Amino acid sequence: MTRGEPAPHRKFDRCVDDIGEVLFNDSGMHGFRFYRYAVSTIEHAGRFAVLLFLILAVLLAGASEAAAKALTISNHFSPLNQKRPFRTTTRHIVLHTTEGALEGSLRKVHRFGEAHYLVAPSGEVYRIIDRRRIATHTGRSMWKGKSTLDDFTIGIEVVGYHDEDITTAQYASLRELLRQLKAIYRIRDKDVLTHSMVAYGRPNRFHPQRHRGRKKCGMLFAHPDVRRRLGLSARPTRDPDVAARRLAVADPELHRFLYRPPRMWAALIGARESQRPDERREATRVIAKGINAWNVARDRYDHRTTIYEYPDGRRFRGDEIREWEAIPAGTRVRFEDVPEREQSFEGFLEIGRDGSRASDLAGDLYTDSTTIYFFPSGLIRTGAELNKNASLRKLLERPPKGTRVLAGYIYGGYVQGVRSASRIAGRKWNYPSTFYRLPDGRILSGDEIDDQKIPGRTLVFLLK
């Protein structure tokens, strides 16, 4: 049922086709069931009623086939697909924009298994991860107090930009894809979210609390006009985690767009047409009064791959800058295009590199049981454990340079020689968000670990 293109990973064909049949055929099945029902009714009902039934059945089958035609899916499964665990529940669909062109976006999403589907500008849909498995598309995320949305959501990447309209073909195929997925998982319209709604940032030097505004990804899909065209009649009208004070608002403008959207999306887009999109984006990547490094680069502000070009010609990488307030106005910010995992689970922070105090790295949660400290001496303790003990509290107050911190994790204990990772970490043993620290110091994720080959004394950490 999927279109011509040969699947790059043939060994997954069977599984893929099973899923493909279900997704593609379930609308056609209505027509068939109607027909069977009509036939069985012949003995009991008058001719006229039967005729009416048959006409209805044919019409319905035709209509659903026409709708399904808007959708052509081809398989482009990630090499990580088969490794990914199955989700136990599915509560939301999360919409993303790639912020880049088809080719590069598809390559990256495919390589790291970062979406279930990708919708090309032509409307063609690619299957990246089996819809029943986990794709890593939301990174650090929260909705209604529940974190790590990857574990209970479906992710759809739409090739395009957060503040630009998508193509007519994309509207048609995304609408049909959403219709089918909503039916399969009984997802309500208001539970179709955007990545910008659910992503949150850990405390940093610009925002002392955990905050919303880490990403603008998929922003346009919050607008009622866009949602209407996608067959979505309801939307979330407030941020549940901001309302409950679990998170702060770091980008008021984005917050307004998501929950108090401007009247007309079309007018908003029309007003921008005088400027070329790439020029407009270029203009938004300059440090100015009131626009700091976080506003421009968000979570990537202190990344190695973020380049700051000062007006005097000097260049610095994000991890070389210490005085963030001293970056001169007019500094241009460029992102090096390296094939890396954007939605990695942020991993470890380090004293001396990311800040000098524990609270610089973990914010208000620095004494929490979900903040784990790795001291250069080899000692590993949670913030709560350190805070309980007077002598250890000194370590917490003045952590030595090189101390590493993992925030928002649960300490899962050691893997003994005879115990497998699946026995110690349970069903989350191969979740992409689960971390393993091997005795040689290497850190691997659930994507990279092999259950049979885990050395004793390996530590396991589960994302809370």
Give the residue, chosen from 120, 217, 220, 293, that forms a contact with Zn ion under the rule CB under 5 A: 217
Comparison of 217 and 424: residue with beta carbon closer to Zn ion:
217
Query: Segment contacting Zn ion (CB under 5 A): 63-71, 106-114, 210-218, 298-306?
Result: 210-218
- Report the residue from 87, 133, 195, 428 that binds Zn ion according to the rule CB under 5 A: 195
Q: Is the CB of 199 or the CB of 421 nearer to Zn ion?
A: 199
| Whether 34 contacts 53, CB under 8 Å | yes
Residues 258, 193: Cα–Cα separation, whole Å: 10
Q: What x/- string results for residues 342 through 371 when contact with Zn ion is judged by CB under 5 A?
A: ------------------------------
Choose between 215 and 227: whose C-beta lies nearer to Zn ion.
215
To Zn ion, the closest distance from the beta carbon of 96 in angstroms equals: 3
CA angle 306, 311, 312 (to 5 degrees): 110
Q: How far apart are CA 170 and CA 120, in angstroms?
A: 7
Q: Please state the closest distance from residue 136 (CB atom) to Zn ion, in A.
A: 11
Nearest residue (CB) to Zn ion, 153 versus 387: 153
String of b and e for 155-173 (b: at least 16 CB within 10 Å)?
bbbbbbbbbebbbeebbbb
Which CB, 141 or 445, lies closer to Zn ion?
Answer: 141
Quick check: helix, strand or coil at residue 201?
A: strand
- Collapse the DSSP code of 405 into the 3-class scheme (helix H, G, I; strand E, B; otherwise coil) and give the result: strand
CB atoms within 10 A of CB 290: 7
The torsion region of residue 357 among left (phi > 0), alpha (psi -120 to 50) and beta comes to beta
User: Of 31-39, 179-187, 192-200, 424-432, which part binds Zn ion (CB under 5 A)?
Assistant: 192-200
Pick from 460, 452, 449: nearest CA to 83:
449
DSSP readout, 251-271? -HHHHHHHHS--S-HHHHHHT
| Cβ proximity to Zn ion, 195 vs 235, nearer residue | 195
Question: Is 459 strand, coil or helix?
Answer: strand
Scanning 65-73, 191-199, 378-386, 411-419 for contacts with Zn ion by CB under 5 A, the matching segment is 191-199
Region near Zn ion per CB under 5 A, out of 16-24, 42-50, 188-196, 437-445: 188-196
Cα–Cα distance, 112 to 128 (Å, whole number): 10
217 vs 405, beta carbon nearer Zn ion: 217
Q: Scan residues 59-78 and list those touching Zn ion (CB under 5 A).
A: none
Phi, psi of 336 (to 5 degrees): -70, 135
Residue 217 CB, shortest distance to Zn ion, in Å, is 3
Pairing assessment for the beta strands 153-158 and 117-119 based on DSSP bridges: parallel
Give the shortest CB-115-to-Zn ion separation in angstroms.
Answer: 9
Distance of CA 367 to the CA centre of its chain: 28
Q: Report the C-alpha gap between 345 and 262 in whole angstroms.
A: 33
Q: Which is closer to Zn ion, CB of 197 or CB of 424?
A: 197
96, 210, 298, 437: which one binds Zn ion (CB under 5 A): 96
Q: Which helix (H) or strand (E) holds 350?
A: strand 349-350
Q: Taking contact as CB under 5 A, which single stretch among the options 144-152, 194-202, 344-352, 418-426 is the one that binds Zn ion?
A: 194-202
Q: How far is the CB of 241 from Zn ion (least distance, A)?
A: 17
Strand arrangement, sheet containing 248-249: 200-201, 211-212, 248-249
What secondary structure letter does DSSP report for 49? H
What is the size of the binding site for Zn ion (CB under 5 A)? 3
The residue among 216 and 381 lying less far from Zn ion, judged by its C-beta, is 216
**Least separation, in Å, of the C-beta of 97 and Zn ion?**
7
Q: How far is the CB of 418 from Zn ion (least distance, A)?
A: 41
Residues that bind Zn ion (CB under 5 A): 96, 195, 217
